[in-house]
Amino acid sequence: MTYFQSLSAAGFAATAISFGPGRMGFGLFVPEFKATFAMSDTTVGLVSGLGFLGFFVALLLAQAMLGRKGPRAPVALGLLAASIGMALVSLAQGVPTLALGVFLAGSSAGFAWTPFNDAVHRKIRDMNRPKALAEISTGTSLGVALAGLAALGLIATDLSWRACWAGFAVASLIALAANWAALREVEPGGAPRPRTAWDELCHAAALPLFAVAFVYGTTSAIYISFAADHLRAAGGTLGLPASATPGLVFVIYGLCGLAGLATARINAAIGLATLLRLLMVAGAGSLALVALIPGTWAGLVLSAGLQGLHVMMVSAVLASWSERLFPALPSLSFTAALLATAGGSMIGPALAGVAADTFGTKAMFLASAALPGALTLALRPAGIRERAAMLDDLEPG
């Protein structure tokens, strides 16, 4: 196996674990958690928000570790946190232990994301970088789909959800070993980042980027936390037991997310502003469908599919958009966009849980759908192009 292949395979495994069961697993098993621990929607929102807090903290730690230790250390730490967190979830006897496990498991995505961009940039030839990054990013979608299949497998075998989380922990340890071996050749490197680097990101031209990232993080976290449980409570879909609904939602979500691999081509064909507006409409439609037509095949398939497409394609847009705005700070600018995403992801589920308990789940989803809907109206194509052009003319600091 060539180094290109081993690095791509290791990155695929890391993203599959960290963005599959690590980041999405709590939402996948919310019905089981609510039944086992007698959790209200408010509690579900708070625990989910803790998982995204782990993602937020890990992004900052990974960025700090990357320059001094290289990508191996943050990726390994993330997969170790995922293993411990998933094991804690499998053993949890109360909400505090469950919340700690979700926090640790959720942090793995923050540790694993930007280090692989750095490793590919420094160890893979220019002509092979797009392919390597595409293969690594595919792990996200397939990891979500495989987590959904694991949940469906529990129904077929009548095993406990605890067995599934124990299996996730073992898979994370295997991914840790693979990444420890594959990343040993990627040494720390790169020039020290100037102290003013973060200040350079505080530019008016970047406001649309951070606004999109924040709303995206808010609504995607709400969907992950509550949609599968709401669709199950509505009776599932005709011909399948209601208990199969969450697994089916995440399988469709993950498979439709593979559309993210075509983001660059679509962006080149229709432009950034048009693409963003279409993606915000997809996100709003996904949330609205959960509220308006749950308990139907059309509602489930369209909602999960649109959400998967929305999440994976917006993620790809944030990476390319941040690099376009700040070409001298590609890793740091992407981290800043992800921090805005993580901020929305922490706040969104917590507020949504309170809203669901106060006003009802349907009202909560409709209100959530209004966020990307309003942002769609606010995104003016000319404004985005003007702001991008402003930063193109700036001298790097």
Residues 147 and 286 in one domain: no
Residues 151 and 272 in one domain: no
How many folded domains does the chain comprise? 2
Residues 172 and 218 in one domain: no
Can you give the residue range of the structural domain that contains 59? 1-186
DSSP line for 216-239: HHHHHHHHHHHHHHHHHHTT--TT
- pTM equals 0.88
CA distances from 262 to 258, 265, 266, 273 (A): 8, 6, 6, 16
Residues 176 and 245 in one domain: no
Residues 224 and 261 in one domain: yes
Residues 59 and 127 in one domain: yes
Residues 45 and 171 in one domain: yes
Residues 251 and 322 in one domain: yes
27 part of a folded domain: yes
170 part of a folded domain: yes
The phi and psi torsions of 203 (rounded to 5 degrees) equal -125, 140
Q: What is the CATH number of the domain that holds 122?
A: 1.20.1250.20
- Give the model's pLDDT for residue 388: 54
192 part of a folded domain: no
137 part of a folded domain: yes
370 part of a folded domain: yes
334 part of a folded domain: yes
Q: How far is CA 217 from the centre of its chain?
A: 8
- Give the model's pLDDT for residue 396: 40
Last residue of a domain, which of 186, 214, 247? 186
- Give the model's pLDDT for residue 395: 42
CA distances from 248 to 87, 153, 243, 289 (A): 24, 11, 10, 16
226 part of a folded domain: yes
Is the sign of the CA dihedral 362, 368, 374, 376 positive or negative?
negative
Residues 162 and 225 in one domain: no
Instruction: Please give the chain's pLDDT, 397 residues, in tens.
Output: 576 677 778 888 898 999 899 999 999 999 999 999 999 999 999 999 999 999 999 999 988 888 788 888 999 999 999 999 999 999 999 999 999 999 999 999 999 877 877 777 676 776 666 666 667 777 888 999 999 999 999 888 888 999 999 999 999 999 999 989 888 877 665 545 555 567 778 877 788 899 999 999 999 999 999 999 999 998 877 678 888 999 999 999 999 999 888 888 888 898 888 899 999 999 999 999 999 999 899 999 999 999 999 999 998 888 878 877 887 776 778 888 989 999 999 999 999 999 999 999 999 999 999 999 898 887 765 445 555 555 555 444 3
Last residue of a domain, which of 131, 166, 186? 186
- Give the model's pLDDT for residue 387: 55
Contact 260, 316 (CB under 8 A): yes
- Give the model's pLDDT for residue 71: 86
> How far is residue 204's CA from residue 220's CA, in Å, rounded to a whole number?
25
Helices 361-378, 272-292: axis angle to 10 degrees equals: 170
Residues 169 and 237 in one domain: no
191 part of a folded domain: no
* Helix runs in the chain, H state only: 3-17, 23-28, 30-37, 41-69, 72-91, 95-123, 129-157, 161-182, 197-200, 207-233, 245-256, 263-270, 272-292, 297-325, 330-359, 361-378, 381-392
DSSP line for 49-78: HHHHHHHHHHHHHHHHHHHHH-SHHHHHHH
> How far is residue 299's CA from residue 60's CA, in Å, rounded to a whole number?
37
Residues 129 and 27 in one domain: yes
Last residue of a domain, which of 186, 212, 234? 186
Contact 258, 313 (CB under 8 A): no
DSSP line for 362-391: HHHHHHHHHHHHHHHHH--HHHHHHHHHHH
Residues 222 and 357 in one domain: yes
